[in-house]
Amino acid sequence: MTRNLQLHLEDNWRLQYSSSFPAISLGTNSQGNPIYQPITEIIVPTIFDKSIIAVSITTTVPVSRIWKYAGYLSYSLTTGLGASFVGERQRLFLGKFNLLFFEDLNVNYFVSIQVPQWFINANVAIYQYEGIDRTTLEDDIQAIKAALGI
């Protein structure tokens, strides 16, 4: 069963959350290099209700360094027992739109992000896919109904 999506259309994406997080400066070490307190887990204060999101994380990369890793995204939903962590953490890549599909998720959910401890700032943007999300099964059912005159 194939999903029919229109991921390529910009109008199908809506910015749900965007914020910047600086690490707290703790001064300098004995060599005069700055020391920072790591950025704590970012709890995104937004409820998501679609199963497809795109996450972008950027940071200041020191000169002569190549960083590709941007941390992890976790998602949770509210159950009768409270907030419940769901599934595996999703690895995120730096400076790219990380496209995430949460299969068979038809309830509202929340996300949190943990960036690497060496980040001195993090810029986070999360978009939710608002476009067509159908399966070919739905198209097949409609074709059968049309053929039967239903």
On average, the pLDDT of the chain sits at 88
Please report the domains of the chain, with CATH numbers, ordered by start residue.
3-148 (2.60.120.1300)
Contacts with 59 (C-beta within 8 Å, 6 or more apart), sequence order: 67, 70, 94, 115, 119, 120, 121, 122, 123
C-alpha dihedral, 38 to 69 to 89 to 99, nearest 10°: 130
CA distance 128 to 118: 28
Report percent pLDDT > 70 for the chain: 91
* Secondary structure (3-state) at 139: helix
pTM greater than 0.85 (yes/no): no
Q: What is the mean pLDDT of residues 16-20?
A: 98
- Residue 145: per-residue pLDDT: 79
Structure confidence by residue, pLDDT tens digits, 72-128: 999 888 777 766 767 789 999 999 999 998 876 667 889 999 999 999 999 999 999
61 — pLDDT class (breaks 50, 70, 90)? very high
Q: pLDDT at residue 138 above 80? A: no
Q: What is the mean pLDDT of residues 56-68?
A: 94
The tokens for 78 are 């509210």
